[in-house]
Structure 1
Amino acid sequence: MRQWIKPWRHVFKLDPDRMLADGELEAICRSGTDAILVGGSTGVTYDNTLELLNRIRRHALPCALEISNLEAAVPGFDLYLIPMVLNTADTDWIFGQHRKALERYGSLIPWEQLLTEGYIVLNADSAVAQLTGADCALNGNEASAYAQIADRLMSLPIVYIEYSGAFGDMRTVQSIRETVEQAQLFYGGGIATEMQAAEAAALCDTVVVGNVIYRDLQQALSTVDAVKRTARIVLD
């Protein structure tokens, strides 16, 4: 399944608990983004996730579900991303929720469609940080050490730098970039302009754009070309 995500340079993340008009969703799906990621920290239910999936399915675009709530594990997605928050002392967000999922769903789990994300949460004010009790007061070396745990010790396919709601410290992102060798490096958080999108794309393999969609759709759409241009330069 790593082959599925390898071409992903730009991804839009949609929250089932937030509203989008049909025209807005169509613009997102026709923007040139590489995939749609569905997920959120709060208010995500089976019903609103299924409704959003059905609307996205009108468009020919890869669609993945990031499972943060067992009640919202909806069948029908192309791919399922399973987050493990590395920088928390609460093991419920490392293995606990995963054990509960195995107990509940067992043989129903489509293993061939699952990829695990090693999350490093770095914005203490974000909902995900408060929910998981993440230790966000990390310097570059400390964050990089967590990245190496995911990349080298655990061989996870994705290392996800999560600043959710704030644009991150690119010096910390640079430190992580220098240590990740095998995993695909995702960045998400606070991207609201083409410049910010390009900065993240210069350091990370995949840039995830979310909150700005609901504040300024045109700005969100402009991030697609910014990421693709930067990614081409980096790859060249």
Structure 2
Amino acid sequence: MRHLFKIDPAKPLSEEAIKRLLQSETDGFIIGGTDEITLENVTETYECFMETDLPLYLEVSTPDMILPLADQFLIPMVLNTRDTTWSHGLHVEILRKYAPHVPFRRLSPVGYVILNKDAKAAIKTGAETNLEAETVAAYAELAEHFFHLPIFYVEYSGIFGDVTILKAAKAVLSETKLWYGGGIRSLIDAKKMAEVADVIIVGNLIYENLEEALATTRVSARASGRGDNMIK
């Protein structure tokens, strides 16, 4: 797995766009967002993509993202915030209420470091975004060696990130996989980040320029003939 499309339930997609995304060479899909997330639009979006044979993840940012019919869930843990609500507080509250019904084997916890100060996710979670490469690398080591997380996600959400920071994180990871998302608006951008990250995520570009978004799949494992799994 090298490339994932991120689908925002709050943003409409035409039937033709959905068809082309499903027929693309991406390695899978994430359904997730920050604003205007409802059970209705999450369900509708999931049903549009559920026939795919590719991995289809729900990124659980609110309880409305929890669908019993889903096979795989990504559970965000924001590491660069002092508000423990977003690192583990909400998780504890959900487990306190619903632990007997939680499908633990279908969950993949994800350690997020959000680095765009203007991103809605950064503002909502109170993320400390002015971080040097050494600090991000320390968070990466925290994710792997302390929390044993399968994924460390460097998220710039709306702007193209600093490849130096990405390289610093990659240099200290061996088991935990490095995912990158943010500001990819061309195949050139995709290739630049795919040279460092294990997986790149393309989201906003789907809604800005579908043709360019589809072109980014040329970095995918399917396009290159690779079949590696970047979670396990």
Same fold (TM over 0.5): yes
Q: Normalization by structure 2: what TM-score?
A: 0.93
* Pair 1:10-2:31 in alignment: no
Are 1:208 and 2:201 an aligned pair? Answer: yes
1:174 to 167, 171, 183: 167
Residue-by-residue CA offset, 1:89-128 (whole Å, 9 max, x unaligned): 0000011110111123221110110010000111101000
Give per-residue Cα distances to partners, 1:26-73, cap 9 Å, x unaligned. Answer: 101110111110000111111110001111123333211000001331
Rounded Cα–Cα distance in structure 1 between residues aligned with 2:146 and 2:225:
28
Q: What CA distance in whole angstroms lies between the structure 1 residues aligned with 2:80 and 2:20?
A: 36
- One of 43, 53, 57 as aligned partner of 2:50: 57
AA aligned to 2:134 is N
Contact preservation (8 Å) 1:201, 1:230: no
Moved over 3 A (4+): 226-232
Give the structure, 1 or 2, with the largest relative contact order (CA under 8 Å, sep 6 or more).
2
Q: Which residue of 2 aligns with 1:150?
A: 143
User: Could you tell me which residue of structure 2 aligns to residue 81 of structure 1?
Assistant: 74
Partner SS state of residue 157, structure 2: coil
Among the aligned pairs, what percent are the same residue?
Answer: 37
Supply the distance in 2 between the matched residues of 1:22 and 1:62 (Cα, whole angstroms).
20
Superposed CA RMSD: 1.4
Counterpart for residue 103 of structure 2: 110
Contact 1:65 1:81 in 2 (8 A): yes
Partner of 1:188: 181
